[in-house]
Chain A
Amino acid sequence: MLLDIVVSGLISGSMFALLAIGFSLIFGVARIVNIAHTAFYMVAAYCIFFFTQRMGLGSIISMLLAIVMVICLGLLTYRFFIEPIREHEAAVLIGTIALAIAMQEVMLLIFTGDFLSVPSLVGGFFSIMNVKIFYQQLLTFGAVVAVLLALWLMLMKTRLGLAIRCMAEDREVANLMGINERLVAMATMGISVGLAAFTGAVVVPLTIVNPFMWMEPLIIMMAVVVLGGLGSLKGSFLGAYILGFTEALVVFLIPKGAFLKGSVALSIMILVLILRPEGLFGIAFEEER
């Protein structure tokens, strides 16, 4: 029981962490609330399904191809649909919702609404204390940790990372210091969508692929981001594991928990917000006018 909770919490927590950090990154840099973020994750899952099942490519190659394709798609949609309306906050919200719905419909047209699945990268499992742990789960967790480390190094050690952090801190001053705002925003969008695609790639063997799979993680991802503080990567990371473990606890300990897992996780978010309106690690902005 205990181990079940730990495994399930770690896996869903890592998935939320990846999604939420990508979402947080683009919000911090360009102030874009990208509702379509999890739709990119869904598209990546479908790309992998297409390459492995229909084209017969290897798993690793199809993952890489999927990530590259989704990044291209993300940059194109950013350039043509999001950037022209960036100044209107409400319009961006609606635009990205419409984008997500459009992607869902396109996938529905191409692959129909059937539930599909992708075989795992590595088979087999071992058991500790009567709990099956699949190697795929270990691999997913390892990959998530590796990517998060790489992202942290990129943000802290490279010039692009410095520029991204500058933009997140103060866009106007960053612009005055000679940082090309548009280019950095584009690069951040690429990284953010890439993270979503990567999440899709590592999670796809563990879940069922269908065109509506973007809705459920969307809510929890937003809860994570709000809980941790908008734009704060550390907050998103911690919030993801808090909510991931909460969900696991509710599912395993409360009868009918599967229905209530979302409710309990979201109630925790609301409780935290009542105590700390800016989230765990958010900065209380001086009345942004």
Chain B
Amino acid sequence: MNGPLRRVALVGGGITPFGVRAATFPELIQEAGARGFGSLPNLAPEDVDSLFVGAAQPERLAFQSHVAPLAAELLGLTPTRVIQRTELACASGQSALRSAYAAIASGLSDLAVVLGVEKMNLPDMAEANTSMADVLDRPWDGVHGATAPPFFAMVAQRHMHEYGTTEEQLALVSEKNHRFANRNPTAQFQGKVFTREKLRGLPVVAPPLRLGDCSSMTDGAALAVLVEGSRAREFTDTPAWLVGSAQCSTFHNLAHAGSLSSWEGLRKAGQELYRSSGLGPKDVQVAELHDCFTISEIVEYEELGFCPKGEGGRFVEEGQSDLGGRVTVNPRGGLLGCGHPLGATGVAQAVEILGQLQGTAPSGRQVPGAAVALQHNLSGSANVHSLLLWRREN
């Protein structure tokens, strides 16, 4: 770890059903509270000294700001140390986790609740799409009508052009993650079998990306509890220890994106993650990667060092990112299978990792003997990368 920091452990959490939910923003928060506190019978609300809320666009999507105190009230909390919301678009949830980590590691907090939440489905989805366009540099990039799909479509176009990646390989990412999602009761896509043949028959959203290559606009929430290390076993015999973290921001306006097919920011963040934890890509058995689009997962294999640059397509083709492969990627079902409620995604990934490290994930999703897990979120146009590394023993 960096310097004389206190150890931080994840001891429990819960996830609401993800999907097009008949539930409002505050109702999703209450559901997450029921599930999160329900997983921790030894935790009383008065033990919680801090609350971190990850939410990307509540002002636009739920017409509500100042959401941290709203969440505190709905969760029955009266934090006396830290209360704040973090916004980092698609990585808002991980940003909340890392802020809680920093607070606990530094001594500012001893026990923090991290809530991630987003309500994205509106009666008129053009309103929600408008908000997605302002994640980009709105007056210069979003103004041209672009949201995420055409940007990541250009990433796929360049990756195919430079490395020979195929649409079939993209579909394999989606097939794998949907198969895992079918075994996850909180996933948006339930009971639907997506074979690569079926995926390649779905409508094109932004060529070469089809519907099955894209994550969804999703409602959902997740809650996780982080504690100072010496208190971890008050709540569980098998905590997940946060042993490394990193972030890198390299640009905002798309004029400065550089090579679309290489994500320098992720490569740098990965190097810092491995440096800060003393571990390397070969130590990772489980990776919750930000598969907002199929091409994203392929580029992420490469930049995180799971395979050489340009060979991400082959990596999934060979089953190296599946159960039994080199590293199991997105056994939760990923953003592709679970949906992507922006603020909730990162917190849900952490809760999944806790289950994987505890060995309690359902059959067909559990990575045998998982001891080290990596969590990645990108945000915006992959201009920011956020990483956490979790470990079973410390």
Pairing of A with B: no
Interface, chain B (partner A; CB < 8 A): none
Interface, chain A (partner B; CB < 8 A): none
